[in-house]
A and B are shown apart, each in its own frame.
Chain A
Amino acid sequence: MSVKELVKKPVLRKGIGLGAVFIIVQLLLMTGVMNDYYFATLVTICINIILASSLNLITGFTGQLSLGHAGFMSIGAYTCAIFMMNVPPGWGVGAFLAGVLLGAVAAGVVGLLVGLPTLRLRGDYLAIATLGLSEIIRIIMVNLDITNGAAGLSGVPRFVNWIWLFVFTAGVVLLIANFLNSKHGRACKAIREDEIAADTMGVNTTRYKVIAFIVGAFSAGIAGALYASYFYVIKPDLFGFLKSVDILVIVVLGGLGSLSGSILAAILLAVMSSLLQSFAEIRMVLYAVMLVAIMIFRPQGLMGSKEISLALLKKFGKNLTFKKKRV
């Protein structure tokens, strides 16, 4: 196999792209160009990428509108934080990895328990049911002793660095991308297009909806665990309705059914949010206006249901040159 053929393999291409991102950020960190403030933004971006791609799997690819994604995130965050704060300090980074795994599994199990009954509901009813469930989770967190009530937990050990952040973010995105390219992913997309038709063609719709829900909840749990282990403090209010809306906005802005769109939108919104930092008072107002404007003028989001790929870039380039010739 010649080098040229090797480069054309998609696996290798993805590997090269991801490796390049990793090395560039690592270099920026080592040279000190990326200070703590920028790194905190980067952590937010990565966590949002995980949350948005997992919600996109549920809402964009399987077509099940969920307004309670922050609930799963909070389960991951609390499980991981409580575990890490209660194991002997000698465990080191093992405690962190076990905590993340435990948080993700806990969120996944709750996803299964929640998904089985509620996924029978359609559209808006499902949205309200998931919103209700995430509120119930929040109220339980406020009332339990082990979660320290409304004040929340503080002093969660910090293990998140660029390496772990990268491993988990890339891992989740690849997991979801591969899931979507599999038989299961195609079944999910069929459900989105037409649930009755998919059912008639022999797709077990309930099963695939629940699978998508569990994978989404599991990933949200990872995001929550990373959040807890980077930002020291977690409290129930962080995971309210507004957080779920934030995640949904990223997904819709990027385009329902476009993973690369979610990643793009997560980066874009984080950059915009830090630019608006100086207008703290009207930040939320501008955010709301932007949300309504996007919905009215570009309801399909930035990417629609397309993915960023070399083919798309080539097509874009061709269009540009074509237009130039016509002029």
Chain B
Amino acid sequence: MDQFMQQVINGLSLGSIYALIALGYTMVYGIINLINFAHCDIYMIGAYVGYFCLTVFKLDFVTTVLVAMAACTVLGVTIEKVAYKPLRNSSRITALITAIGVSLFLEYGMMFLVGPNVRTYPEITGLLAEKFNIGNVIVSTQQVIIVGISLLLMVLLQFIVKKTRIGKGMRAVTLDADAARLMGINVDSTISFTFVLGSAFAGIAGVLVGVYYNSINPLMGYLPGLKAFIAAVFGGIGSIPGAMIGGYTIGMVEVMVSGYANSMYKDAVVFAILILILIVKPTGLLGRNVREKV
């Protein structure tokens, strides 16, 4: 039982990170119908920015997170303006391949700039490094912070989307971009704002992963990115609570498979879940059913 509870705690922290990345995928997919393959590399860049802030500039944790968020936001919006905006009216496959191209560019560009080797995050000291026991289960402050930050951000995001003016605009563009434009909504700036939110979240996730798992490399984004996308599909693409549920489910499944079965197969199980959910309920758990128009 103790071991099980320990796995649950680990699953929650991993799931929080997937959920944070999944939010970026789900919002962008909801608004421009594009699987933003570059999103996972924005997360990787966030981790690197965090690394340099902590080691070279010796900033404290909170400032590091803020700097990483800012850098990722700038990067995300630049990608949107340079690569995706000219393709707004072209076919889906064109946009998808562009996204893959941008992703390769970021991965190999980073490999060229900082080298392909793995880097270790500096040891975090003070409050963040502490561990305490609940019964026989060990919980670290880091895990509490990871789960706390992600829950807080998701509540914040839900508030932005449901209660603010710009959030209303985002929902309108998601439903019908042309009609939204006719109603006086600036579609381009709404899409940019979506990228701002998604990239900022990816930046935070990057720093948190660096602190939690200690090691980063230029290709670190690929697998978590895919899994976060799976989480988004699982929960229903375009739905914010869905991304959260999906993220926690995928994180939990992964931890349980490596804990109780063969850890080599944990990725295969996640992909199998994806295929299963696509076959049984392609819209995901909370996705809305869009009727096909002829």
The chain A residues found within 8 Å of chain B, CB to CB, are 59, 65, 117-118, 120-121, 123-125, 127-129, 131-133, 135-136, 139-140, 142-143, 196, 241, 245, 248-249, 252, 256, 281-282, 284-285, 287-289, 291-292, 295-296, 299
Residue B256, interface by CB 8 Å: no
Known contacts A143-B265, A292-B105; is-contact A281 B112 (Cβ 8 Å): yes
Residues on the B chain within 8 Å of A140, using CB:
268
Residue B4, interface by CB 8 Å: no
> Are A131 and B97 in contact (CB-based, < 8 A)?
no
Instruction: Tell which of A117, A142, A284, A296 touches B108, judged by Cβ atoms closer than 8 Å.
Output: A284
The chain B residues found within 8 Å of chain A, CB to CB, are 29, 33, 35, 83, 86-87, 90-98, 100-105, 107-109, 111-112, 222, 226, 229-230, 233, 262, 264-265, 267-268, 271-272, 274-275, 278-279, 282, 292, 294
What distance in Å separates the Cβ of A135 from its nearest Cβ neighbour in chain B?
A: 5
What distance in Å separates the Cβ of A201 from its nearest Cβ neighbour in chain B?
A: 13
CB-nearest residue of chain A relative to B86? A296
Residues on the B chain within 8 Å of A139, using CB:
264-265, 267-268, 271
Known contacts A118-B279, A123-B92, A288-B101; is-contact A142 B86 (Cβ 8 Å): no
> Are B233 and A142 in contact (CB-based, < 8 A)?
no
* Interface CB pairs A-B, < 8 A, 30: A59-B93, A65-B92, A65-B96, A120-B279, A121-B282, A125-B282, A127-B96, A128-B229, A128-B230, A129-B278, A132-B271, A132-B272, A133-B275, A136-B272, A140-B268, A143-B264, A196-B292, A196-B294, A245-B100, A248-B97, A281-B112, A284-B107, A285-B105, A285-B109, A288-B104, A288-B109, A291-B98, A291-B101, A292-B102, A299-B87
> Are A124 and B104 in contact (CB-based, < 8 A)?
no
> Are B274 and A132 in contact (CB-based, < 8 A)?
yes
> Are A299 and B104 in contact (CB-based, < 8 A)?
no
What distance in Å separates the Cβ of B183 from its nearest Cβ neighbour in chain A?
A: 27
Residues on the B chain within 8 Å of A120, using CB:
279
Q: In the complex, A284→B233 CA distance in Å?
A: 30
> Are B100 and A299 in contact (CB-based, < 8 A)?
no
Q: In the complex, A289→B83 CA distance in Å?
A: 10
> Are A124 and B294 in contact (CB-based, < 8 A)?
no
Residues on the B chain within 8 Å of A143, using CB:
262, 264-265
> Are B275 and A118 in contact (CB-based, < 8 A)?
yes
What distance in Å separates the Cβ of B114 from its nearest Cβ neighbour in chain A?
A: 12
> Are A129 and B98 in contact (CB-based, < 8 A)?
no
CB-nearest residue of chain B relative to A114? B275
What distance in Å separates the Cβ of B83 from its nearest Cβ neighbour in chain A?
A: 6
